[in-house]
Amino acid sequence: MISANATTAETAADEPAVETAKRRLDRLADLVDVSDEYVERLKYPSQVHRVSIPVRLDDGDIEVFEGFRAQHDNVRGPYKGGIRYAPGVTADECVSLAMAMTWKCALLDLPFGGAKGGVAVDPRSLSTEEKRRLTRRFAEEMRSFVGPQTDIPAPDMGTDAQTMAWIADVYKMQTGDGTRGVVTGKPPRVGGLAGREEAPGRSTALVAREAANYYDLPIDGLTVAIQGFGSVGGHAARLLDEWGARVVAVSDIDGGVFDENGLDIDALSAGTGPLSDRDAAAEADELTNDALLELDVDVLIPAAVGGVLTADNAPNVEASLVVEGANEPTTAEADAVLAERGVPVIPDILANAGGVTASYFEWLQNTNGRSWTHDEVRDELDERMLAAWEAVRESREARDVPWRDAAYAVALERVAESHETLGIWP
């Protein structure tokens, strides 16, 4: 077992993400030619919906869960963003993630605004039937504020294609609209897109490869540690492994596995249960999630929960490069420490943006009835991701700022331009 000093996800020194998001906007206002009034408005969500979700559990008891949907800005198109099921989800968490969706969609030049939702629940504590009842009731509660042209949810942590299928079905029963464009990330047999599930992991891998190349770290033999082996982490690991990188560590909620010679990612993916119990990990060492973040690797990819790189552990990060597969894995304080130490951090709004980009293709497919092949999805996704990477690279070089600010500057400029053109406020 490799160990490291224990860290908590958010220390006293690490401010809440929503405050960081607001401060970032102030800083960005100096970088781009945007009026202060727009910047002030964009610090706040347009609306935050909060609903109660009563669910009958398998043992006959009723439990009431809290659900949220934060809608940040829709100047560029309908609100768009995932729904997460995780313990401790709050309205504020959804607000900061909704703000990030506004910037992510603008950076990829998609005709969407930003939203995020969630239910405070540990999905691992629910049976499939309980999840189905919870999801259908949440969908009923969301009826008045979601729709293919208003707000389009998608999967996020703890939710998946099946969750989206249940929401699409409730919406169809309520409205008669059978196009299923109300949510993306559905199973392909009910209007979903081949390639949506792998897309955020694919973009994370693609951006990691480009960034590594930028810093003269060749993909062949590139050592990579990935926290999280779910939708994003699992697909990023598989692709990087396929492209010749050496994925030496991956983890799930219970901890991780490490092999300096590289893990057998395909075999690990084929297994079930905790990673450390899988046959493919028999020769690997176990390590904690904290220790994984401090491994001496070329690329570290946090791809699980937010707030894992903090003021406490950033001084111990040994990776040459951090690529954010998860949303908001790096606190503002950790960002500052890593910048000081010369460790580049490629931001979430670029790296994992393949998810919402593929969601856009799915929404188009549902809207105009033309289905996309898996190859078409991959080709167009890669093209758009590489274009976004280039835009951020140019912004960084022109402005001489960290990668995160460079990406946000491109996005803020586009959102502000849309507001200015419409002239609706201030």
Ligand X SMILES: O=C(O)CCC(=O)C(=O)O
Ligand Y SMILES: NC(=O)C1=CN([C@@H]2O[C@H](COP(=O)(O)OP(=O)(O)OC[C@H]3O[C@@H](n4cnc5c(N)ncnc54)[C@H](OP(=O)(O)O)[C@@H]3O)[C@@H](O)[C@H]2O)C=CC1
Active site residues: 116
Kind and range of the H or E run holding 153:
strand 151-155
Indicate which of ligand X, ligand Y, none lies near residue 409 (CB less than 5 to 8 Å, by partner kind): none
Nearer to ligand Y, 38 or 68 (CB): 68
- For residue 158, give the nearest of 191, 190, 135, 187 by alpha carbon: 135
| Interacting span for ligand Y (CB under 6 A) from 58-66, 107-115, 223-231, 375-383 | 223-231
Nearer to ligand X, 14 or 156 (CB): 156
> Per rule CB under 6 A, is residue 294 in the interface with ligand Y?
no
Question: Does residue 184 touch ligand X according to CB under 6 A?
Answer: yes
Q: Is 205 in the site for ligand Y (CB under 6 A)?
A: no
Percentages helix, strand, coil for the chain, rounded to the nearest 5?
45, 15, 35
405 is a contact residue toward ligand Y (CB under 6 A): no
Q: Output 39 or 182, the one with its CB closest to ligand X.
A: 182
Q: Does 197 bind ligand X (CB under 6 A)?
A: no
Q: Which does 184 bind (CB under 5 to 8 A by kind): ligand Y, ligand X, none?
A: ligand X
356 binds ligand X per the rule CB under 6 A: yes
231 near ligand X (CB under 6 A): no
Which one, 327 or 330, has the nearer CB to ligand Y?
Answer: 327
Task: Give the C-alpha separation, 45 to 49, whole Å.
Answer: 11
Of ligand Y, ligand X, none, which one does residue 113 interact with (CB within 5 to 8 Å by kind)? none
What is the arrangement of strands in the sheet containing 321-323, beginning at the earlier edge strand?
285-287, 255-258, 246-252, 223-227, 299-302, 321-323, 345-346
- Find the binding residues for ligand Y in span 322-341 (CB under 6 A): 325-327
Q: In the bound complex, what is the minimum distance in angstroms from residue 167's beta carbon to ligand Y? A: 14
Is residue 71 within 8 Å of 98, Cβ to Cβ? yes
Question: Does residue 102 belong to the site contacting ligand Y (CB under 6 A)?
Answer: no
Residue 98 to residue 156: CA distance in whole angstroms = 12
Complex with ligand X: residue 159 or 223, whichever CB lies closer: 159
CB of 234 to ligand X, least distance (A): 16
DSSP H helical segments within 199-264, as ranges?
A: 199-214, 231-242
Q: How many Å apart are CA 385 and CA 204, to the nearest integer?
A: 10
148 sits near ligand Y (criterion: CB under 6 A): no
Distance CA(373)–CA(352), nearest Å, equals: 21
241 binds, among ligand Y, ligand X, none (CB under 5 to 8 A by kind): none
Q: Does 257 bind ligand Y (CB under 6 A)?
A: no
DSSP 50: E
Helices (H), 72-224: 91-107, 128-142, 161-175, 199-214
Q: For residue 156, is it left (φ>0), alpha (ψ between -120 and 50) or beta?
A: beta
SS3 184: coil
Site string for ligand X, 53-92 (x = CB under 6 A): ---------------------------xxx----------
Output the six-digit token pair for 155. 């999967």
Footprint of ligand Y on 40-69 (CB under 6 A)? none
Q: How many other C-beta atoms lie within 10 A of the C-beta of residue 425?
A: 9
- Nearest approach in angstroms of CB 10 to ligand Y is 12
Among 48-56, 228-236, 365-373, 379-387, which window interacts with ligand Y (CB under 6 A)? 228-236
> What's the Cα-to-Cα distance from 326 to each of 228, 229, 231, 256, 368, rounded to whole Å?
9, 11, 10, 17, 31
> Which residues of the shown chain bind ligand X in the complex (CB under 6 A)?
80-82, 104, 154, 156, 184-185, 327, 352, 355-356, 359
> Which residues of the shown chain bind ligand Y in the complex (CB under 6 A)?
82, 155-158, 200, 227-233, 251-254, 289, 303-306, 325-327, 352, 355
